[in-house]
Amino acid sequence: MFCLYSYCIQCIVLYTRIMKRESHSLLRGGRREGSYKHAFSSAEMESLSSICDALLPPLQLETLEKKENNKPTSNFVKCFWKLSGSQFYVPDEIAEMLYKRALPEAMILLRMILLMLATKLGTLLLCGSLCFSGKWPFINNFSNISLDNRQKTLQKWFKHRFITPIRLAFLYIKIMCLFVFFSRCDENGENPTWEAIGYKAENDNDGNTNNIQKERPLEKGIVEAINESNLSLPNSLAKKGLEVAIDAKNNILKIKCDVVIVGSGCGGGVAASILAASGQKVLVLEKGNYFTPSDYSSLEGPSMNELYEYGGTFASWDGNMAILAGKTVGGGSAVNWAACIRTPDYVVNEWAKDFNLSLFSSYEYVSAMDMVCKRIGVTDICIEEGLQNQVLRKGCNNIGLQVDYVPRNSSEHHFCGSCNYGCRRGDKQGTEVTWLVDAVDHGAVILSGYKAERFILEKNKEGCVRKKKCLGVIANSSTKNVTWSLQIEAKVTISACGALYTPPLMISSRLKNKNIGRNLHLHPVLMAWGYFPDSISDLKGKIYEGGIITSLHKVLSEDSKKVKAIVETPAMGPGTFSSLIPWQSGLDFKERMLKYSRTVHLITIIQDTACGEVRAEGRVRYELDESDKENIKDGLKQALRILIAAGAVEVGTHRSDGQRIKCNGTNENELEMFLESVYATGGPMSHEEKWSIYGSAHQMGSCRMGMTEKEGAVDENGQSWEAEGLFVCDASLLPTAIGVNPMITIQSTAYCIAKRIANFLTM
């Protein structure tokens, strides 16, 4: 009888878990179907598994008990202590991720190193005396070296200053291994490490989600390629009011509309709304998929994989910059952190004065910001803050620094720490629940799962200002079940696929303005952290709970006239956390992970003056200048001071040497000496022993506006200087970095541009 009762209870628990995970299949974890697809040999996979074991080794429980001072340790922690980085098919997942996402030259480097480590000679070259053995032939390959010596090899290469490509290769594996290990989940949405590190993925719906859970706000206008076939797609598009002709011989669907927009984020969503409301037949192309609040799972691994470019592993060519960019209907607005900050006065004044762009000093732009904030429901305060923002506010208050509330496109009561995986509550007002809804209400069509390849350009009539004319766009399916190419003919074509993808699209269309792909700004970020044990802090909660950004501190210059940096709080799932924190040893790393839920992070964002470039997809080049490094350093120091003032028992940075200091029992002079040692280092490819990885969630400026074609890729109306009828309507338009979260600036600029395009179409 007891066994039957126990079995029933287990069934109820399993059923409850499944019901709580009633999310889209693409956003759920679980067992995969079929084998892993990659090009790695068995020898290379053996080397990769050995590296994963060294990064996250199984440890003796004695080390845990010693560290815990013989206090009772949970079975979850004991289990975590014994886990290895090569378990749960982690090496296979890494290999598949690299195969799908890594640049060709990165794959060549990685495979070469893994192959070398599979041989005795190659291991000798890479590991030196650490591979020596007392038995013939006296040299081991990497997988046969002791676990301790494998860790020493990694420590050596993470410090190596000269052959930096090898350091970068080991870093790639470190990031992939730890991210996969801590973010993957089973069919119940569980990970065997989460209980030990104090993490629980959000799975409870609040009372406000019941009415919207099954709604699909874009249903009347959305066509999803993932749900279509070659047979059904033409009919589905025609049913939405588009003119569709079939060229079966060439496998092309020819579509006619008034306006085609590439991208559905902050720029494309606003443009679609304005132009559809003006009476134009609008088609929006989005290469990502469409999800609603009830589809989201809050599971880091599958959500990052589906909702972000490169599954959240996008990086600059040298590994110096980790880049986050959205890839779904709604673009970045669907996964951003909800901050809604108006364009600062000093920025619009600079654009109006130094770039002669009168739009930004006009009532038109101010009015656009008002309209945008109203449409997306911006609120100015937060009723209840999460742990990280409590720390930021308390630290600032304790040392007399100003701290402001951050306006958000959500309600004042919004307490969601997983909006970066899509807002399950439906509270955050991204373009997919605002502007795009307005657009489909006015007859717009949104086609997800299709990627633009190039614009259709022809020679313009003689006497025209622009030498070329844009007739539309060619697009191909991102899904396997539909193979039609699309040839979309439109009066106006708008590129709104963001600062990382608009330039490659224009360049692949043979546009040659020198500003295309250059002047790229990234708002580079470094992080500071502080540990707040739950047992001795009056601040309760965990770092992944509550609104992601609700507080902000501005780091001012000595004369208080210039903002050098801003300090905010980031979203930190366990996979992201594990991939960013420095690795010094397996023991140190596992100890850090046990502190995950109470390790508060603050980010330092600057208005960068340095410019990068992106002229081909996935290839970002960017290097900080000295003034940017100085501003980041000042911001990082201020963030550490705030953490100390809030009561952290230990603080540090993500510098490769694990830079940190214990605050308890440390005098002010020692703390100041520590702060003086903080600086903005180079990246992993720099010839520095100590290095850092920077982050970027904001990309802008790569097709900037200019009053002449020498000054910009497009004019003040957003129209290409080279091609009539081709407009840009996204963050790449912005003349410089803005130094704050850019959503309001992007949407307001798009609002103005779209209004002007509507006028252009009526001429």
Instruction: Summarize pLDDT for 424-480 with one digit per residue, the tens.
Output: 999 999 999 999 999 999 999 999 999 999 999 999 998 899 999 999 999 999 999
Indicate the DSSP class of residue 142.
G
Instruction: Summarize pLDDT for 265-299 with one digit per residue, the tens.
Output: 999 999 999 999 999 999 999 999 999 999 999 99
Pairing of strands 450-459, 694-696: unpaired
Is 492 annotated to bind a ligand? Reply is no
Is 122 annotated to bind a ligand? Reply is no
Mean pLDDT for the stretch of residues 386-396: 98
> Which residue's entry shows tokens 């065997």?
192
pTM: 0.94
Q: Is the pLDDT of residue 9 over 70?
A: no
Rounded-to-integer distance, Cα 545 and Cα 100, Å: 32
Is 403 annotated to bind a ligand? Reply is no
CB count in 10 Å sphere of residue 270? 35
Is 270 annotated to bind a ligand? Reply is yes
pLDDT band per the 50, 70, 90 thresholds, residue 690: very high
The per-residue pLDDT of the chain, averaged, comes to: 93
pLDDT value of position 732: 99
pLDDT value of position 206: 46
Residue 657's Cβ-count burial label (10 Å; 0-12, 13-18, 19+) is middle
Residue type, position 394, single letter? K
pLDDT band per the 50, 70, 90 thresholds, residue 67: low
pLDDT value of position 8: 40
Catalytic residue among 38, 414, 523, 698: 698
Is 264 annotated to bind a ligand? Reply is yes
Task: Describe the crossing of helices 668-676 and 626-645 by its angle, rounded to 10 degrees.
Answer: 150
Is 494 annotated to bind a ligand? Reply is no
Q: Is the pLDDT of residue 10 over 70?
A: no
Is 257 annotated to bind a ligand? Reply is yes
pLDDT value of position 1: 40
Helix (H) or strand (E) holding 469: strand 468-477
Mean pLDDT for the stretch of residues 346-363: 97
pLDDT value of position 214: 65
pLDDT value of position 157: 93
CB count in 10 Å sphere of residue 632? 26
Q: Is the pLDDT of residue 756 over 50?
A: yes
CATH code, residues 222-290+328-376+429-515+705-762: 3.50.50.60
Q: Catalytic site residue 160?
A: no
User: What 3-state class would DSSP assign to 313?
Assistant: coil
* Structure tokens, 594: 């046990």
Q: Is the pLDDT of residue 65 over 70?
A: no
pLDDT value of position 618: 95
Contact 150, 53 (CB under 8 A): yes
pLDDT band per the 50, 70, 90 thresholds, residue 30: confident
Mean pLDDT for the stretch of residues 398-410: 98
pLDDT value of position 353: 97
pLDDT value of position 463: 86
Q: Is the pLDDT of residue 2 over 60?
A: no
pLDDT value of position 96: 95
Q: Is the pLDDT of residue 213 over 70?
A: no
Closest C-alpha among 688, 722, 724 to residue 708: 722
* Phi, psi dihedrals of residue 131, rounded to the nearest 5°: -95, 5
pLDDT value of position 160: 86
pLDDT band per the 50, 70, 90 thresholds, residue 66: low
Mean pLDDT for the stretch of residues 134-141: 89
pLDDT value of position 14: 38
* Structure tokens, 585: 């040893």
Is 444 annotated to bind a ligand? Reply is no
Mean pLDDT for the stretch of residues 370-376: 99
pLDDT band per the 50, 70, 90 thresholds, residue 227: very high
Rounded-to-integer distance, Cα 468 and Cα 595, Å: 59
Largest CA distance in the chain: 91
Indicate if the alpha-carbon torsion angle 429, 430, 433, 436 is positive or negative: positive
Instruction: Summarize pLDDT for 628-661 with one digit per residue, the tens.
Output: 999 999 999 999 999 999 999 999 999 999 999 9
pLDDT value of position 71: 62
Is 528 annotated to bind a ligand? Reply is no
Pairing of strands 450-459, 314-315: unpaired
Measured CA angle at 558 (ends 556, 562), to 5 deg: 40
pLDDT value of position 13: 39
The domain spans of the chain are 37-197, 222-290+328-376+429-515+705-762, 387-405+522-696
pLDDT value of position 134: 83
Residues in a beta bridge with 477: 450
Is 267 annotated to bind a ligand? Reply is yes
Residue 761's Cβ-count burial label (10 Å; 0-12, 13-18, 19+) is middle
Residue 277's Cβ-count burial label (10 Å; 0-12, 13-18, 19+) is middle
Is 259 annotated to bind a ligand? Reply is yes
Is 319 annotated to bind a ligand? Reply is no
Instruction: Summarize pLDDT for 706-733 with one digit per residue, the tens.
Output: 999 999 999 999 999 999 999 999 999 9
pLDDT value of position 22: 75
Is 422 annotated to bind a ligand? Reply is no
* Structure tokens, 513: 């303005």
Is 262 annotated to bind a ligand? Reply is yes
Q: Is the pLDDT of residue 70 over 60?
A: no
Task: Describe the crossing of helices 75-82 and 586-594 by its angle, rounded to 10 degrees.
Answer: 150
